[in-house]
Amino acid sequence: MPHKITLTGSATGPLREYDRYVAFDMREKGSPSAPKGLKKSTFISYTVFVAKKAFNKTGLTKKSIMHEKILIQGEPTLDIPIDECPGEIGVICFQITVLPNKNDKEKNPSDAKKEPKQEASASSEEPRNTESKKQEEEQASVSQSVEKEKKKAETVQPEVKKEPVQEKKTESQKKQISNQPKGTQDIVDFDDIIIPEEFLKARPNPEKTQKVIDFVKRTGHLDEPLTIEKESKVLKDGYRRYVVAKTIKMEKVPVVYEYQK
């Protein structure tokens, strides 16, 4: 009988669509207690293959699959061509489930507590007098007149207000870049970076990758910036650092621009 396998986590690379199925890469930690004489594995990479019908039922998209935590149940396979399976192990998925986030669980009980309070306040607002309504109308008219005066003042002196705002933005950008590795030209959102197919086939060395992870945890930033194209934001160099940023869930990363020829 084929062996069953269960994986939990999020995708480490973009979703790849084929005729009747989709594929994406995942990673999980290796065995914590390896036999004596064998090196401990930091993580194992998997390539998951899911039928399009089953994937569409989950409601996942190309962007959300990079952030949502999912549960994969399936069986390993050796029948997939190497070009389509960049991971160390290929997995045929027969069930995919989106796991709830901790933040969603914490919000639900608080929302349930708020509902009776809102109903009680709504019932108390029903028997309002006509005098209170008049006061509200007068306050609304006063607030409207104040807003009009503010808009007039903004139109009279637009240049004076814009200059300090731009200066604050440039100062904040300089401070952010100064806290990043040498050579950093800009800081961009991690989700905006596009990974070419050639990088997805590569398998970064686990030991070197772990060293970069330890460096980030110690210093709070990557050891070197990523190299991307200015306009398209396609990754040109630094796939190992991209994998580290994905593993640590960094929202912004330092970059160096390579202009398109």
CA 240 to CA 253: how far, in whole Å? Answer: 13
Give the pLDDT of residue 1: 47
H/E element holding 141?
helix 130-156
Give the pLDDT of residue 95: 92
CA 221 to CA 93: how far, in whole Å? Answer: 36
| pLDDT-derived band at 223, boundaries 50, 70, 90 | confident
| Per-residue pLDDT reduced to its tens digit, 178-217 | 778 888 888 889 888 888 888 887 888 888 888 888 888 8
Distances (CA, A) of 19 to 25, 50, 51, 52, 251: 18, 11, 10, 9, 33
| pLDDT-derived band at 81, boundaries 50, 70, 90 | confident
Of the three residues 100, 123, 138, the one that is the final residue of a domain is 100
Residues 6+ apart with CB under 8 A from 194: 14, 232, 233, 234, 235
Domain count, the chain: 2
Of the three residues 72, 100, 128, the one that is the final residue of a domain is 100
| pLDDT-derived band at 75, boundaries 50, 70, 90 | very high
User: Is 72 inside a domain boundary?
Assistant: yes
Q: Looking at the predicted structure, is the pLDDT value of residue 71 above 60? A: yes
Q: Name which residue leads in pLDDT, 113 or 203.
A: 203
Sheet holding 43-51, edge to edge: 5-9, 70-77, 89-98, 43-51, 21-29, 16-17
Please state the rounded mean pLDDT for residues 33-56.
82
When mean pLDDT is compared across 48-62, 152-166, 225-239, 246-260, the lowest value belongs to 152-166
H/E element holding 16?
strand 16-17
* In the chain, % of residues over pLDDT 70: 66
Q: How far is CA 155 from the centre of its chain?
A: 39
DSSP 8-state class, residue 30: -
CA 68 to CA 9: how far, in whole Å? Answer: 8
User: Is 141 inside a domain boundary?
Assistant: no
User: Is 166 inside a domain boundary?
Assistant: no
The position carrying tokens 């608080």 is: 110
Q: Find, among 58, 56, 34, the residue nearest to 44 by Cα.
A: 34
Two tokens, residue 154: 């903004």
Of the three residues 47, 76, 100, the one that is the final residue of a domain is 100
User: Is 164 inside a domain boundary?
Assistant: no
DSSP 8-state class, residue 234: B
User: Is 69 inside a domain boundary?
Assistant: yes
User: Considering the entire predicted model, what is its pTM?
Assistant: 0.39
User: Is 120 inside a domain boundary?
Assistant: no
CATH number, domain containing residue 219:
3.90.1530.10
| Per-residue pLDDT reduced to its tens digit, 159-171 | 545 556 666 666 6
Instruction: Answer yes or no: are the C-beta atoms of 25 and 6 closer than 8 Å.
Output: no
User: Is 123 inside a domain boundary?
Assistant: no
CATH number, domain containing residue 23:
2.40.50.140
Q: Find, among 47, 43, 38, the residue nearest to 18 by Cα.
A: 47
| Domain limits for position 187 | 179-258
Give the pLDDT of residue 24: 92
User: Is 207 inside a domain boundary?
Assistant: yes
Give the pLDDT of residue 31: 61
Strand 70-77, strand 226-229: pairing: unpaired
Please state the rounded mean pLDDT for residues 212-228.
87
